[in-house]
């Protein structure tokens, strides 16, 4: 693990690292915010943030304004990249497939299978690296935006007991039934649509046994709302399953980081209620 940069921020440190990923078979980059309290010999809770299509680890760290509240709460933020990277990694001309569009799945199809295993990277490899090298314990929460909201919801739902809470901004809620998801899943997972259900939050929520605290924020002026995101499908599944998800609709807000910056404090405080509970 190599330190790329370290910048003081709200008396803490915003850092960027690179490391060799065995799971993805390439060099990866991630960002970490460490509050000032993390200098002490203690163990702090951690929130994993998963970003959306075309993003890297820098979008959230530079645009969301999350560090102030994370510093106040004493929570470490971990922000991974959205896909494998490198000259040997398969790519596509479209923004919604390939580099920058890993969709947090384990690809089973050629040419994606050798590198596109973002699910295993987020669930296993990256947390092991973080917990071995930073002052964090096993108190974890997860959240994300758009494709990253899809990733946060599906990873939380597929791993009962791993996270204290999950939240998402404008998540792709029903990818098996939207153009983004159909394109990505057919490429990464193949034409057997039954395998797609393992990465669909609406399907997973309907089958869930754990009732994890869940918060979703959706802007009503989001240009992707009806065709790509489909929160109504998740809301209907939650109602049918008796799953207590809190879905908030915000008039006037779109899909951008202005929306995230407006409500990131609410999300961090939501997670803190569970991460910091004793």
Whether 146 is catalytic is yes
Active-site residue among 83, 146, 217, 262? 146
Q: Are 273 and 75 in contact (CB under 8 A)?
A: no
As a whole number of angstroms, the distance between CA 169 and CA 141 comes to 15
Whether 255 is catalytic is yes
- Secondary structure (DSSP) of 169-193: ES----GGGSHHHHHHHHHHH-S-G
As a whole number of angstroms, the distance between CA 192 and CA 7 comes to 46
Active-site residue among 150, 255, 267, 271? 255
Tens of pLDDT, residue by residue over 78-104, are 999 999 999 999 999 999 999 999 999
C-alpha distance across the termini of the chain, in Å: 33
Whether 278 is catalytic is no
pTM of the model: 0.96
| Tens-digit pLDDT string for the chain (278 aa) | 999 999 999 999 999 999 999 999 999 999 999 998 766 667 899 999 999 999 999 999 999 999 999 999 999 999 999 999 999 999 999 999 999 999 999 999 999 999 999 999 999 999 999 999 999 988 999 999 999 999 999 999 999 999 999 999 999 999 999 999 999 999 999 999 999 999 999 999 999 999 999 999 999 999 999 999 999 999 999 999 999 999 999 999 999 999 999 999 999 999 999 999 86
Write out 22-62 in H/E/C secondary structure.
CCCCEEEEEEEEECHHHHCCCCEEEEEEECCCCCCHHHHHH
């Amino acid at each position: 693990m190599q330190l790329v940069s370290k910048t003081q921020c709200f008396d803490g440190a915003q850092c960027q690292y690179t490391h060799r990923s065995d799971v993805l078979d390439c060099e990866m980059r991630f960002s970490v915010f460490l509050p000032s309290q993390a200098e002490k010999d203690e163990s702090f809770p951690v929130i994993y943030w998963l970003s959306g299509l075309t993003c890297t680890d820098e979008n959230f760290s530079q645009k969301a304004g999350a560090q102030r509240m994370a510093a106040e709460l004493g929570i470490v933020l971990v922000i991974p990249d959205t896909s494998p990277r490198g000259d040997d990694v398969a790519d596509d001309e479209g923004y919604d497939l390939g580099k920058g569009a890993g969709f947090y799945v384990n690809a089973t199809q050629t040419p994606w299978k050798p590198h596109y295993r973002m699910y295993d990277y987020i669930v296993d490899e990256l947390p092991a690296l973080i917990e071995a090298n930073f002052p964090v314990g096993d108190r974890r929460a997860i959240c994300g935006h758009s494709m990253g909201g899809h990733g946060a919801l599906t990873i939380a739902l597929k791993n009962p007991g791993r996270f204290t809470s999950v939240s998402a901004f404008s998540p792709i809620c029903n990818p098996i039934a939207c153009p983004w998801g159909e394109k990505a899943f057919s490429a990464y997972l193949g034409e057997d649509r039954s395998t797609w259900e393992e990465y669909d939050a609406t399907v997973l929520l309907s089958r869930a046994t754990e009732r994890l605290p869940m918060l979703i924020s959706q802007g009503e002026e989001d240009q992707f709302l009806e065709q790509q995101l489909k929160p109504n499908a998740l809301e209907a599944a939650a109602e049918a399953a008796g799953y207590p998800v809190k879905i908030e609709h915000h008039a006037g807000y779109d899909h951008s980081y202005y929306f995230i910056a407006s409500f990131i404090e609410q999300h961090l405080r939501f997670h803190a209620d569970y991460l910091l509970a004793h």
